[in-house]
A and B are shown apart, each in its own frame.
Chain A
Amino acid sequence: MAPREETAVDPEVLRLVALARTGDRTAFGRLIERHLTAARRVALAAVGQPSDADEAVQEASVAAWRRLDALNDPAAFRGWFLRIVWRKAIDRRRSVRSWFDRFSSTTSDDRPMEFPAADPAPDALLLSRELAAAITQVVRSLPRKLRDPFLLAASGDHRYEDIAVMLGTPLGTVKWRIAEARRVIRLKLDHMGYGDPR
């Protein structure tokens, strides 16, 4: 779960932002397309369900389209857009309707995750479906303050600094929460019998 390395300024992003500011929808679409996977992961980390995540991304795209002139540094479009996605996803998570849907509907998100054990190494054999379901359950039971930075870091799309800005939390706090989340997960798995055999 190494954080993403900082990339250099992409001149194509600058060009697309300039075109989008003139009202070019195609250029804006290409901008979104470059960061769509990261945006959906960010939204999923907040809301947990793909349908809610896609709606949050759509709302964030409209908001970014409207506020494109407020972007001071076009080279920072990615972080700016992902922060909008995160806020929209958090708004959706807080909404009453989302709570109602989460508790009233049974979607595919409630099923244990299919865990691909493609690694032929012996350790990979431990990653059974039951273990994957247990880990999923433990991660979902984490407090939001621990779960949000942990899942954002797990996506591999963001540096710790980006996560700190996105969450509005100091960098040291983000690092501690991620480590604490991992410690709590290990501890709970150990109580469930998936820990270190003694």
Chain B
Amino acid sequence: MSTTLSSLDSAIDQVAKGMVAAPDDPEMVARLVSALPERSSRLGWLIPQCAALGAIVITAVVWSTRERPASPALLSSTQIAAAPALPGAITPREPGTAFRTLPSEHSELSEASEPLRLGSDFERSLPALEIADTLIVSDVTPSELPASPALELTPIGVPDLPLTAESFPPR
């Protein structure tokens, strides 16, 4: 039995070795050498990486130095304290007094400084329209109208149409 197993093992080894045995090819080395490309430099493989890194850096620099829209300046507390005082208290006017409100850039601030009052908001209304003068229409006669040249009409001449010998076919 050991002889048989040994023979079988030997057969397995020989077959396995034959499965990975490559046929001789003396020209293969020459083909391999002729197919070799040009060797790049030692750091040649770094070129694509450096190019990508450079592109990222340039993009970052351009992005960081781009022009930004001016943001509204924030006033510090000292600047706010030094700001010109708002108009004082507004004296109430009598009802019916016509006045004109001037547009103000700080209308919101002015209105905010006014104390809130309940009631009619007549002070904020537009000024009353003045009464227009009476429209007087006087009678006008034709003789008072300005003279105009007489209307003249040129007579229109219609020439006689030539007669033809054509006759309409009877239906």
Chain A residues packing against B (C-beta within 8 Å): 1, 23, 25-26, 28-29, 32-33, 36-37, 40-42, 44-45, 48, 50, 53-54, 57-58, 61-62, 65-66, 68-69, 113, 115, 123-124, 126-127, 131-132, 135-136, 139, 150-152, 154-156, 182, 185-186, 189, 194-197
Contacts and interface: CB of A to CB of B under 8 A. Distances in A.
Contact of B32 (A1, A32, A127, A155): A32
Contact of A113 (B10, B19, B22, B23): B19
A59 B15 CA distance: 28
B135 interface: no
Interface in B1-54: 1, 3-23, 25, 28-33, 35-37, 39-40, 42
Identify which of B13, B20, B23, B37 gathers the most chain A CB atoms within 10 Å of its CB.
B20
- DSSP majority for the B interface? helix
Contacts of B32: 29, 32, 57-58, 61
28 contacts: A1-B16, A23-B39, A25-B33, A26-B33, A32-B29, A37-B22, A40-B22, A41-B20, A42-B20, A57-B32, A58-B35, A61-B35, A62-B37, A69-B42, A113-B18, A115-B11, A115-B15, A115-B18, A123-B3, A126-B4, A132-B18, A151-B19, A151-B20, A155-B17, A185-B12, A186-B9, A194-B8, A196-B4
B15 A28 contact: no
Contacts of B17: 1, 154-156
Q: Among A69, A115, A124, A136, find the residue whose CB has the most chain B CB atoms closer than 10 A.
A: A69
A50 B23 contact: yes
A42 B22 CA distance: 10
Given A26-B33, A65-B39, A155 B20 contact: yes
A-B pairs, top 4 by smallest CB distance, nearest first, are A154-B16, A40-B22, A123-B7, A29-B33
Contact of B13 (A1, A42, A124): A1
B22 to A, nearest CB: 4
A115 B18 CA distance: 8
A39 B23 CA distance: 13
B39 A126 contact: no
B15 A139 contact: yes
Interface of B: 1, 3-23, 25, 28-33, 35-37, 39-40, 42
Contacts of A57: 28, 32
Kindly name the residue among A68, A131, A197 whose own CB sees the greatest number of chain B CB atoms within 10 A. Answer: A131
A36 B28 contact: yes
A54 B23 CA distance: 10
B1 A45 contact: no
A127 B31 contact: no
Contacts of B40: 66
